[in-house]
Amino acid sequence: MNNSKVILHHHYKLFKPYGYLSQFGSNAKHEQKKKFISELFPFENGTMPIGRLDEDSEGLILLTTDGKLSDEINKGDTEKEYYLQVDGDITDIAIKQLQKGVEIGFEGIKYNTQPSKVRKLDSIPEFPKRSKKIRDDRHGPTSWISVIISEGKFRQVRKMTSAVGFPTLRLVRVRIGHHHLGTMQMAEVIKVESLL
């Protein structure tokens, strides 16, 4: 007789809003007054985000109660796509530099990013308004680009655009692997059958 239990895991997609930390809480004193994604939905005990978005970034986060699956997605070469609004009218030269890879700093060490898929977007993507206003057009032009990477160092995409002279004003992750943000609304949570 087989007594092994089948553990049913829970999986979610979340549109993380600006200003939230991609975690469920913190013991750090400087983070006690911060907002956490646990405030957005009554997630089951043991739910964890797969990867993170920093506090001033928005977009798709996958969550699961399956630790093995979380490790598998984090350690693999899963593509992540970001839409970025950058300061200035980005040039073809800057896009080519980003495609080839640029040097950024990570924990005090210089690091060359892997080649990335980068393109200028033809139109401004339609995202919900952000809670904190982005500077307006009186301060000069901005442009939107798509950046697809498989790695994910701390604030990597922001550091990449700064390295080529076009700092990021807004960053929204729109895809992880085959999971898309689609028409999700800010702070919306969708329960999904599987993340594979």
pLDDT of residue 136: 67
CA separation for the pair 195, 176 (Å, rounded): 10
**In this structure, is residue 139 part of a structural domain?**
yes
Closest CA to 187 of 35, 41, 63, 42: 41
The three-state secondary structure class of 162 is helix
The phi and psi torsions of 149 (rounded to 5 degrees) equal -130, 160
Whether residues 48 and 133 share a domain: the answer is no
pLDDT of residue 50: 92
Whether residues 56 and 92 share a domain: the answer is no
Q: Are 31 and 58 in contact (CB under 8 A)?
A: no
Whether residues 25 and 91 share a domain: the answer is no
> Parallel, antiparallel, or unpaired for β 35-36 and 20-21?
parallel
Whether residues 91 and 155 share a domain: the answer is yes
pLDDT of residue 137: 65
**In this structure, is residue 3 part of a structural domain?**
no
**In this structure, is residue 2 part of a structural domain?**
no
pLDDT of residue 131: 78
Q: Which domain covers residue 119, as residue numbers?
A: 80-176
**In this structure, is residue 5 part of a structural domain?**
no
Whether residues 65 and 108 share a domain: the answer is no
Whether residues 38 and 96 share a domain: the answer is no
The three-state secondary structure class of 181 is coil
The three-state secondary structure class of 14 is strand
CA separation for the pair 52, 22 (Å, rounded): 5
Whether residues 110 and 157 share a domain: the answer is yes
Per-residue pLDDT of the chain (196 residues; tens, 9 = 90+): 555 676 789 999 999 999 999 999 888 888 888 999 999 999 999 999 998 899 999 999 999 999 998 888 887 789 999 999 999 999 999 999 999 999 998 888 898 999 999 999 999 999 988 878 887 667 789 999 999 999 877 789 999 999 999 999 999 999 999 999 999 999 999 999 988 8
The phi and psi torsions of 88 (rounded to 5 degrees) equal 105, 165
Whether residues 107 and 40 share a domain: the answer is no
Whether residues 45 and 108 share a domain: the answer is no
Which pTM does this prediction carry? 0.92
**In this structure, is residue 6 part of a structural domain?**
no
CATH code, 138: 3.30.70.1560
Whose tokens are 């604030």? That residue is 155
Number of domains making up the chain: 2
**Is 54 among the residues known to form the active site?**
yes
**In this structure, is residue 1 part of a structural domain?**
no
